[in-house]
């Protein structure tokens, strides 16, 4: 599998920046999970991560990126290095040239456009810097804030996959949104 690209310099638009995830983000990540007791459920986790778990993920990040498995990027407000959220590149399928994004934004920074602006930076970057031809985002079908953020970032709403995932012991409908290479060329 090819490696996922290394983000040596942050991506930015003057308002939002995205850089490689780092161990220094752990305190803000823990605070976000504390401030939003449902965040772990939306991220399809059985419970909020511990500091030790986040530390282990950070230690494995370079190997996961180099192996083309996973990439964690941190969302920042331009001019500030405080973690305001993260984007995860995961479910990478090199045979079909596609990957999925997951995203969260700190509760006190939601509804400020950080998520949509970060997605608008990351998805085109991945399409240009890799052989991936499709970046997709799946979310619960009733998660209108996430659907609106993805559409504002340039993702196309494709529809609902009924009973697509099993979450918290039940089948859940997922909305699917995507950005493909031809979206970048007009």
Q: Where are the domains of the chain?
A: 11-184
Identify the pLDDT of residue 1. 84
Identify the pLDDT of residue 186. 61
Identify the pLDDT of residue 44. 80
Q: How far apart are CA 70 and CA 92, in angstroms?
A: 7
Please check whether residue 165 is in contact with residue 44, taking contact to mean a CB–CB distance below 8 angstroms. Answer: yes
Instruction: Give the contacts of 63 (CB within 8 A, at least 6 positions apart).
Output: none
Identify the pLDDT of residue 74. 97
- Digit-by-digit pLDDT tens for the chain (186 residues) are 899 999 989 999 999 999 999 999 999 999 999 999 989 888 888 899 999 999 999 999 999 999 999 999 999 998 999 999 999 999 999 999 999 999 999 999 998 899 999 999 999 999 999 999 999 999 999 999 999 999 999 999 999 999 998 877 889 999 999 999 999 986
Please check whether residue 85 is in contact with residue 106, taking contact to mean a CB–CB distance below 8 angstroms. Answer: yes
pTM of the model: 0.93
Identify the pLDDT of residue 55. 96
Q: Among positive and negative, which fits the CA dihedral 145, 146, 150, 151?
A: negative
* CATH topology assigned to domain 11-184: Aminopeptidase (3.40.630)
Identify the pLDDT of residue 170. 86
């Amino acid at each position: 599998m090819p490696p996922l690209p290394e983000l040596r310099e942050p991506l930015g638009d003057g308002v939002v920046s995205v850089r490689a995830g780092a161990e220094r983000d752990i305190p803000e990540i823990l605070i976000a999970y504390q401030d939003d007791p449902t965040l772990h459920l939306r991220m399809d986790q059985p419970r909020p991560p511990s500091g030790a778990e986040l530390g282990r993920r950070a230690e494995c990040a370079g190997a996961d990126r180099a192996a083309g498995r996973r990439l964690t990027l941190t969302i920042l407000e331009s001019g500030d290095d405080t973690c305001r959220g993260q984007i995860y590149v995961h479910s990478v399928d090199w045979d079909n040239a596609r990957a999925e994004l997951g995203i969260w934004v700190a509760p006190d920074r939601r509804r400020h456009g950080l998520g949509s602006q970060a997605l608008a930076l990351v998805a085109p970057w991945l399409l240009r810097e890799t052989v991936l031809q499709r970046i997709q985002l799946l979310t619960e079908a009733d998660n209108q804030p996430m659907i609106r953020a993805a559409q504002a970032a340039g993702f196309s709403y494709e529809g609902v996959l009924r009973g697509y995932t099993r979450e918290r012991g039940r089948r859940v409908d997922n909305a699917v949104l995507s950005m493909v290479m031809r979206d970048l060329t007009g």
